[in-house]
Structure 1
Amino acid sequence: MSAGEQTTVEMPGAVLFASLWGGPLAGRVPIVLLHDSLGAVALWRDFPARLAAYTGHPVIAYDRPGFGRSTARSDALTLDFIAAEAHTSLAAVLRHFGVDEVILFGHSVGGGMAVSAAAQWPRRVLAVITESAQAFVEDRTRQGIEDARASFADPAQLARLAKYHGNDLQQARWVLSAWTDTWLSADFANWSLAPMLAQLACPLLALHGNLDEFGSLAHPRMMASLPSAFPGQGQYQVLAQCGHVPHREQTDQVLRTVKEFLLLHGLH
């Protein structure tokens, strides 16, 4: 993995770990990566470096509180944690790097966070790219999470997860629980990105593998079809024979598609 330029970001109650590739930022719009429910900066591996080199945009990635090398957590996620990301960790990261305008790239739940931030910051977010993102809580999503939770009953699986979260089994258990307990909760069953999508005022690209075990193609179709007030601004691409992690499974295709999308909207 190319580590990029590493730094720490102060925010109320936590210190975040972040990295920058392809700097300096001056006068250039960065792409900020938002990780998935088990993710961390390290799990992006060499993708940020390759994305920066291929698109010419600086790339920033950070660990949310409780993940990776950021401050550990023991509290439960609030039900509005996806929408709240814009005004908590993400706001602190943009402030730290002095970023006014940004392109957001979110994987899985990070995609929902990217859409939500763009809806709340229509003048700051110039485009959104989602990858394997969920737009609502689908039976397939819940079943995939149930299956994943069962697989982590294997101590070796939990130990592998802990490697990316401070080599701390307790923190790995928190990461796993924050994902499974939240998404399988009855209180979260009616969550949807629809209200945020209705407010979106920037171009959106939704990437989704046809073999994604955590969501059907209903998700990218829903994201690309809204908002109706901006026809042609939303698009989706299905990646054949691809699962939940396209940036790892089909890196070259993801890079090409992202660059084409940015060129199409005058952002390259």
Structure 2
Amino acid sequence: MYTDYWGLKEPPFENVPSDRLFRSPQHEEALMRLIYAVDHRKAVAMLTGDVGTGKTTVAKAFMKQLSEKKYDARILSNPALGPVDLIKAILLQFGEKTESNSKTDLLNLLSQRLYRNSERNLNSVLMVDEAHVINDQSTLDELRMMLNLHANGKFLITLVLLGQPPLLRKISSLQPLKERIGVKYHLEPLDLQNTIRYIMFRLKAAGAVRGCYTKEAVSVLHGYTEGLPLRINNICDRCLLIGFMRKAHLIDAKIVNEAIEDTR
């Protein structure tokens, strides 16, 4: 509705995980740490952060950088399963189908797949998204047991765990898994300077040729959103809509406050 008015090719603040990674210093570091973990065949990498900090966007950028010639990388998006169902779900993600409900058979099938990948010089990677929703400690323990598989002194699989802060507490209670974590990083909200950069990044990616927000507007916006990209997107989108309806030339602090009130 407002894109033509602001000279945009598309809405800049959609709240779906984007393929465009905003490379703030911390998002860049998170990405580099994950790449390091799989390049060096670490057992476990863990990326945590509050809702809306950009974990999924970092994860998408990470998966995009993994060459299919070097990696067999899969994503498990719903890990709140019991141990047997978890193994079956992992097998399904790796393209292995079975009717068996025998844990022994399932683990054997999974180990065969991982060994085949190793023989083909493929590094196996399993990203477990929303890992904080795993409430069954035996499920976390099952993930740890996968790390007992080795070949030529290397782990046959790298687990990449993504989740909200409760994941840190759950992992801390499982010392054997905690000790296998080779790389971890916690995403914090953006500071004011990076909030400005983030807004400019999203606008430019959407085709903007000029700035739309005053410094005062961004200051108010940052104070309310606390630097969380998810909240920034919500408020910025409302600001552009309100600015369009008011025929404003720029988004000022008054429009931001109106957008904030609109969310309450």
The two structures have a TM-score, normalised by structure 1, of 0.28
Q: Highest relative contact order (Cα 8 Å, sep 6+), 1 or 2?
A: 2
Select the structure of larger CA radius of gyration: 2
- Pick the structure with more strand per residue: 1
